[in-house]
Amino acid sequence: MKKFLLVLGVLGTSMTGFGQNNNCSSATQVCNDVAFSGNSSGAGSTQELNGSNQGCLSVEHQSSWYYFQPVTSGTVALTITTSVDYDFAIWATGNCNALGAPVRCSYSSQFGNTGLAVSIPGTPTGCGFLGLFACPAGPPGDVTEGAGGNGWVNALNVVAGQTYIMLIDNFTANSTPFTLDWTFSAGATLNCTPIVLPIELTEFMANYKAPAKSNLVQWETATERENDHFTLERSTDGSNWMIINQQAGSENSVIPIEYVFEDFGYAPNVINYYRLSQIDYNGTVEMFDIISVDNSNSGKKIVKVFNTLGQEVPLETVGIVILQYEDGSTRRVFR
């Protein structure tokens, strides 16, 4: 599985529209410490939480997704101000498709404010002489908490360059909005330039189909973000390329999507090369690896494939290989 990077051209404004970011794939970038309000109408089209990434949470109810990237390391605290039961989780990744375990998580059943804190808000009494005085504020003491938690987990020591994804979920699910206030300390600042997040291309392959006498080109994405369209090009020399197909992308997606193009116009008796590129809404282009189909022996069945050391390898092996056909002839190809 290969990972490719797509440079996002979206610059977050720290604000979110109602129901606009209730999927991770459409998360809003946060790039400064200006307080903002959020809300959500539901869990979105994708329920991203599962056993591998939910941490202390259960499922999404009315979710709002954000991501941020510190440009300098430091400590980040935040307060989600609300009158109802909000939960949240933060993952130290920029990949919606591989969230892993959250680094901070709160599923507290408390109504009211919640968040990351250097010290627990409020001044509890019961300390000092006869318990009549205010207690010194202490840290929450935990990084994750279940329903019995107090709503506060430790502030997060963020690392410059690391992308973080944050889910804020309205468990009460009554569409009551929240306001989020940030507190940066120890030098933490966020990146306001476009963030690089991965778009994952899990497959890009092409094969000659004898019955149809065509080259079938297929590719599959695991995730897409701001994806406008794909462009497929063909070449016979690896230098001169011709656009042979354009397909609309799926904008934002976290589910596998397969694309297919059947090329009947390939050049016969030579090796045909295919190049795939992806163009986002801002015109940013990402080129993917070049693949090839050996049409020089189209119609003849390949019986064995060898690597450059003469060892037999699986038929689908990529790179420089030697193909042996049913008539005993061989051909050295790069694919």
Partner 1 sequence: MVYGQEYRYQFRLKNVTDFAEAKMVTDVLRPVFNTEAVPFKVFPTFNDVNDQFDFVSEIVVSKEQLEAVLVANGLELIDFTSIQGVQSQTEER
- Binding residues for partner 1, rule: CB under 8 A, are 42, 58-59, 61-62, 85, 107-110, 146-148, 171-174
CB of 39 to partner 1, least distance (A): 13
Q: Residue 136 gets which letter from DSSP?
A: P
Instruction: Give me the sign of the Cα torsion angle 99, 105, 108, 110.
Output: negative
Total residues found in the chain within this entry? 335
Residue of 90, 23, 11, 93 whose CA lies nearest to 251: 23
| b/e code 293-331 from CB counts within 10 Å (16+ = b) | bbbebeeeeeeebbeeeeeebeeeeeeebbbeeeeeeee
Distances (CA, A) of 290 to 204, 269, 273, 315, 335: 9, 19, 7, 18, 8
Taking the C-alpha atoms of residue 105 and residue 101, their distance in angstroms, rounded to an integer, is 9
Taking the C-alpha atoms of residue 158 and residue 49, their distance in angstroms, rounded to an integer, is 23
Angle ∠(58,63,64) on CA atoms, nearest 5: 135
CB of 19 to partner 1, least distance (A): 13
* Closer of 58 and 282 to partner 1 (Cβ): 58
* Closer of 146 and 194 to partner 1 (Cβ): 146
* Closer of 65 and 230 to partner 1 (Cβ): 65
* Closer of 21 and 227 to partner 1 (Cβ): 21
Taking the C-alpha atoms of residue 317 and residue 311, their distance in angstroms, rounded to an integer, is 12
* Closer of 115 and 151 to partner 1 (Cβ): 151
Question: Within 10 Å of residue 105's Cβ, how many Cβ atoms?
Answer: 23
* Closer of 149 and 198 to partner 1 (Cβ): 149
CB of 61 to partner 1, least distance (A): 6
CB of 94 to partner 1, least distance (A): 29
* Closer of 176 and 231 to partner 1 (Cβ): 176
* Closer of 101 and 173 to partner 1 (Cβ): 173
CB of 172 to partner 1, least distance (A): 6
Taking the C-alpha atoms of residue 134 and residue 23, their distance in angstroms, rounded to an integer, is 43
CB of 215 to partner 1, least distance (A): 45
CB of 62 to partner 1, least distance (A): 7
Taking the C-alpha atoms of residue 30 and residue 190, their distance in angstroms, rounded to an integer, is 8
Q: Residue 275 gets which letter from DSSP?
A: E
CB of 30 to partner 1, least distance (A): 26
